[in-house]
Amino acid sequence: LQFLNWLEMADEALFQFLHSEIIQYVNSAEPGESENGRCVSKLENMGFRVGQGLIERFTKDTPRFKDELDVMKFICKDFWTSVFKKQIDNLRTNHQGIYVLQDNKFHLLTQLSAGKQYLEHAPKFLAFTCGLVRGALSNLGVKSIVTAEVSVMPACKEQILCKNIKS
């Protein structure tokens, strides 16, 4: 059982390293401070494609969700656990299409050192995940805008805002 846990964590490490390399690549392909937005958007789009792909295969046999809140709970529990090995710590909503998901220990940020100078790089480390959530929601029939921010480092609290776009 111990070995099985190790195997699961190994998946995590491999993805973490790949994620980090991708950020480096996108960063180097778009040199200059002013290109930060382009980096973030590239990373977000990649995440979107992956999020769609993950959900496509996952929910083939799962019964449909009751409502939007049910979808968000799925993201917070099943989806987040599959991808990040833990659940979302806190979910809040205004019941009018805005959801705030909070992860108190977002592991993709743990590589960034504490300190103000790294906060400017944090958006790049969040972009892929935002895309991931947006892609997953998209395939579940929810069109959204997903943004994230880091509240406290090194606690790496990450807040994700899902705004359901009504067509």
Partner 1 sequence: MSRQSNRATDSKKMNSELFTLTYGALVTQLCKDYENDEEVNKQLDKIKFTSHVVLHRFFQEGCAAGKITNKMGYNIGVRLIEDFLARSSVGRCHDFRETADVIAKVAFKMYLGITPSVTNWSPAGDEFSLILESNPLVDFVELPDNHSNLVYSSLLCGVLRGALEMVQMAVDVRFAQDTLRGDSVTEIRMKFIKRIEENLPAGDE
Distance CA 75, CA 38 (A): 27
- Whichever of 52 and 144 has its CB closer to partner 1, that residue is 52
Do 19 and 112 touch, CB atoms closer than 8 A?
no
* Alpha-carbon distances, residue 92 vs 95, 105, 166 (angstroms): 9, 17, 19
Distance CA 55, CA 159 (A): 21
- Whichever of 29 and 69 has its CB closer to partner 1, that residue is 29
- The structure tokens listed for 72 are 């968000």
Scanning residues 66 to 95, which ones bind partner 1 (CB under 8 A)?
78, 81-83, 85
- Whichever of 85 and 92 has its CB closer to partner 1, that residue is 85
Stretch that binds partner 1, among 58-66, 115-123, 139-147, 155-163 (CB under 8 A): 58-66
The residues of the shown chain that bind partner 1, judged by CB under 8 A, are: 6-11, 13-15, 17-19, 21-22, 24-26, 28-29, 42, 46-47, 49-50, 53-54, 57-58, 61-63, 78, 81-83, 85, 128
